Amino acid sequence: MKTREWVLMVAFAVLLPLVLASGAWAERGVTDTEIRIGQYGPQTGPAALWGAVARGTGCYFDMINAEGGIHGRKITYFLRDDGYMAPRTKAICKELVESKEVFAMASGVGTSPGMAVKKYLHKKKVPWVGPATGSTHWAYPPTKYLFAVYPLYIDEAAMLVNYAVKNLGKKRIAFFYQNDDYGREGLAGAEYALGKLGMKLVAKVSVEVLDTDLSSHCMKLKKAKPDCVLMWLLPKQGAIILTTAAKMGFKPLWMTSSTLSDTPIMYKITRGLYKDVIFASFGEGPNSQHPLMKKYRAAHDRFAPKDRWGVFFYAGFIFVEPMVEGLRRCGRDLTADNFVKAMESIKDFQGIGPKITYGPNRRQGARSMFLAKCGDKGTFIRLSDWLTSDVDLKEVLKRLGR
C-alpha cells in the first residue's frame, strides 16, 4: 500500500509541471489549421453606427479564408457586441482571451472601451492591431503588443486647418467640439496648427454628447463671425448643428473629422446641407477604382451583401490590413513575440488606407490622410493626395497634459 502511494505521489510530482507547461508549448489561439482572432464592437447602443467596422473585419477575414488563409491557417473570428460600454468590453475581452483563447485582438471601436481593456490585453500578451479611433492613447507611450493604425485626430485637425488657411485663404477659424478626449485632441491639433501660422481660434465651443438643442452653441459660434468652423462631434450632433446654423443664416465653411466621413448618410440626414463639407479621410472613397477596393467590394457582395457598403464597413478592412500583413510576414512559426517582430518590420505598407510604418519603438502606424468633400447627393469627392502630418506630437501631448 505504502509503495503504491509513493509511486502515485512521485508520478504526480513529475507529471504536474509537464501538464502546466504544456500551455507554453502551443501558442494560445494558434493551431496547425487556425488562428483565432477576436473583436469587440457596438452592434447596439449609441455608437452602433460604427459597429459596421467589426462586421467589415469579419468580411475581410472571410475573403482571406476563401483565398486559402495565411500559411495554411484559416482565421476563426469572434465578434462580440459591447454596446460601447466599457464594463462589457472588459468582460468580452476576458471571455475571448481566457475561454475562446484568441491569439490576437483586431480593431475595436471606441476610445473608452479600448482604454478599459488596454492594460489587461497587454498583461496577457495579446497582440492588438488597429483600435478604431484616432486617439493618442494607443501608441503614446508605445507598448509592445499594441499597434495603432487610425491616423491621429490631432493630425487630422492640423491638416484641415492648414488646408483652410493656406489653400482656401480662410482667416477666422472656430472650433466646435465634443467635450471629451476625442474633441479635445482635435482641438489641440487645430490650435497647434494655427499657432504655427501665427493665428488663433476666434471661438472654441464645446458640447455634451447628449445635447439635442444646439441653438445657444450655434449663436456663440455665429457671434465670433468665423469664415470656417471645424466640428469634432457625433454624426447626430453634426446634423443638428448644420440645420440650426442654416436656420440662423450662419453659413461658414464647415470642416470635420473622419468620424463624420460617411457622406451618403450625412447628406441624407442633413437634407443636403452636408454638401461641400470638407473632411479628412483615412481611406479610399466608397466608389474608388483602386484595384484593392474593387476586390474588397466583390468580397462585400459575396460575404456580407446585406451590409451597406459604407466607409465604416470597409474601415474594418483598413484597420486590420496591417495585421494580416504581419501574420504573412511572420510565417508558420506564429507566436506573439514573432508576430511583434514581423509587425515591426513593416515599412511603407499600403492597402486602401494610409501608408503604415512600424518600428521597434514606433507603434503609431499612420500619420497621413487625404482631404475630401461631400458632393451632390452625398458623393465622395477627393480633394488632395495623401498628406503627411508634420505636427510635433511631443509638444501637443505636453499641452494636453500627457
Nearer to another protein, 346 or 374 (CB): 374
Pick one of 119, 251, 271, 332: the residue that binds another protein (CB under 8 A).
271
Q: Can you tell me the distance from the alpha carbon of 235 to that of 260, in angstroms, rounded to the nearest whole number?
A: 6
Give the Cβ contact number of residue 246 at 10 Å. Answer: 15
Q: Does residue number 269 form part of the binding site for another protein (CB under 8 A)?
A: yes
Contact 174, 161 (CB under 8 A): no
* Residues in region 290-319 near another protein by CB under 8 A: 308
Pick one of 129, 239, 323, 396: the residue that binds another protein (CB under 8 A).
239
x-marked contacts with another protein along 161-180 as a string, rule CB under 8 A: ------------------x-
Stretch that binds another protein, among 23-31, 237-245, 362-370, 385-393 (CB under 8 A): 237-245
Q: Which three cell numbers stand for residue 327?
A: 501574420
Q: Can you tell me the distance from the alpha carbon of 335 to that of 119, in angstroms, rounded to the nearest whole number?
A: 20
Q: Does residue number 275 form part of the binding site for another protein (CB under 8 A)?
A: no
Stretch that binds another protein, among 26-34, 242-250, 338-346, 377-385 (CB under 8 A): 242-250
Contacts of 47 (CB under 8 A, 6+ apart): 84, 109, 110
Q: Does residue number 224 form part of the binding site for another protein (CB under 8 A)?
A: no
* Residues in region 130-149 near another protein by CB under 8 A: none
Nearer to another protein, 326 or 378 (CB): 378
Contact 41, 54 (CB under 8 A): yes
HEC profile for 25-72?
HCCCCECCCEEEEEEEECCCCCCHHHHHHHHHHHHHHHHHHHCCCECC
Q: Can you tell me the distance from the alpha carbon of 193 to that of 302, in angstroms, rounded to the nearest whole number?
A: 44
Stretch that binds another protein, among 6-14, 85-93, 118-126, 215-223 (CB under 8 A): 215-223
Contact 130, 149 (CB under 8 A): yes
Stretch that binds another protein, among 102-110, 116-124, 262-270, 342-350 (CB under 8 A): 262-270
Q: Which of 135, 84, 49, 47 is nearest to 312 (CA)?
A: 49
Cα angle 243, 247, 252 (rounded to 5 degrees) comes to: 75
Stretch that binds another protein, among 38-46, 63-71, 94-102, 356-364 (CB under 8 A): 38-46
Q: Is the peptide bond before 151 cis (omega within 30 degrees of 0)?
A: no
Contact 189, 137 (CB under 8 A): no
Smallest distance, another protein to C-beta of residue 211, A: 5
Nearer to another protein, 107 or 389 (CB): 107
Stretch that binds another protein, among 218-226, 315-323, 328-336, 349-357 (CB under 8 A): 218-226
Nearer to another protein, 46 or 375 (CB): 46
Q: Does residue number 87 form part of the binding site for another protein (CB under 8 A)?
A: no
Nearer to another protein, 112 or 243 (CB): 243
Instruction: Note the residues at the interface with another protein (CB under 8 A).
Output: 42, 44-49, 51, 179, 205-208, 210-213, 215-217, 219-220, 223, 235-236, 239-240, 243, 246-249, 265, 268-271, 308
